[in-house]
Amino acid sequence: MYAQSCGMRPRTITSNNFQRKICNRRFRSVKLLAAVSSDSTLAPADYTTLGTTDVRVPVMGVGAWSWGDRSGYWGYGREYGQEESRAAYKALIQSGLTFIDTAEVYGYGKSEEFLGEFMREQATKSPGSPAPIIATKFAPLPWRFTSASVVEAAKASLARLGLSSMGLYMQHWPGFGPQYFFNDAYLEGLADCRQRGLCQAVGVSNFSTRRLKQAVKLLAARGVPLASNQVQYSLLYRAPETNGVLEACREAGVTLVAYSPLSQGLLTGKYSAGSTKPNGPRQLVYSDSRLREVEPVLGAVKAVAEARGKTMAQVALNWCICKGTLPIPGAKNERQLTEIAGALGWRLDEAEVAELDAVSSRVPAGLGFPAENF
């Protein structure tokens, strides 16, 4: 599975406002959609399975963090809106990129709601088109202490999505602080979800090597394989290679799903020191000092892109695939989705991967999500 082919800033969420915005909403009855589909326009080489499960997905997915985001991080409502997200969804279905990652906290449920709406529209207007494989995540929030709370969170996500079962259900980050003592209960809850048919596979996110191994062992005792560990990974953040996470995933047969594979846009070549920066909190990713630090990597990616007739984003994503990981770049609109779809159907050769490895290894890594070290 792993053979080479060649954060959001923390925000305080209280029980009351989260439950008001997410958990207690009412949703109209919808036609339940399949969570897994084998139809696609992709070549066989552009498919894989999640861990040792039988859930078949493209080797690259699409992240829906920005869809309906109300934190101000991505500029939703200022720079783009629901129609742009809808166009991205239509384009991903047409391209065959049918593995979509979301979470209950994205837009306080709005990302899942959008996705459910888009799927209903698809089922009505194009009944023969493939149904996407949906991955979503529950958060170990302060009022969640039991395995039953995970099951209830899964049911709430499924209601927003309009599904009876999802492809992959994950713990978004390991519990810390008071929630530290309930991590085993959360994993038991994931196993319950799988055994009740609420999902076809279960995974975790931001888990360290130690936590990953513990999760594999606990779930195995329930007869449930751990399918994935979703962590930050890119040419500008290769910590999973040195902290043991990537190797632990390989040894356990767990798919490493790479979030922020474009380093939140740094690897697209769109920004440079002294240039215009994104609005909002994301400006912190694009400091002039960081942009100067990463110039050698951007130069190497650009050189490969020009030689290949590809974009820098396509090269950076293909590198992740060649490393045996499954990247999930975000796409706010149809143009971005079309570009990332161009990362499939070809592979970097060994010399190109080695050159990118060498250059990126000399650049300081960016910031990681703190919870990944718990």
Positions marked active-site: 106
Shortest CA distance to 257 belongs to which of 49, 106, 75? Answer: 49
Using DSSP bridges, classify how beta strands 56-58 and 47-49 pair: parallel, antiparallel or unpaired. antiparallel
Contact between residue 327 and residue 258 where contact means Cβ atoms under 8 Å apart: yes
CA 301 to chain centre: 22
> Encoding tokens for residue 292?
């100067």
DSSP 3-state assignment of 74? coil
Tokens 């995970």 correspond to what residue? 150
Task: Report the distance separating Cα 36 and Cα 153, nearest Å.
Answer: 20
Helix (H) or strand (E) holding 205: strand 199-205
Task: Report the distance separating Cα 332 and Cα 88, nearest Å.
Answer: 7
Task: Report the distance separating Cα 106 and Cα 66, nearest Å.
Answer: 7
- Phi, then psi, of 30 in degrees rounded to 5: -135, 160
Shortest CA distance to 211 belongs to which of 178, 241, 252, 239? Answer: 252
- Residue 232 to residues 189, 229, 239, 245, 317: CA-CA distances in angstroms? 24, 10, 8, 11, 13
Task: Report the distance separating Cα 81 and Cα 293, nearest Å.
Answer: 33
Task: Report the distance separating Cα 207 and Cα 218, nearest Å.
Answer: 14
Task: Report the distance separating Cα 100 and Cα 277, nearest Å.
Answer: 28
Instruction: Supply the DSSP string of 299-320, one letter for each residue.
Output: HHHHHHHHHHT--HHHHHHHHH
Contact between residue 28 and residue 15 where contact means Cβ atoms under 8 Å apart: no
Task: Report the distance separating Cα 37 and Cα 318, nearest Å.
Answer: 24
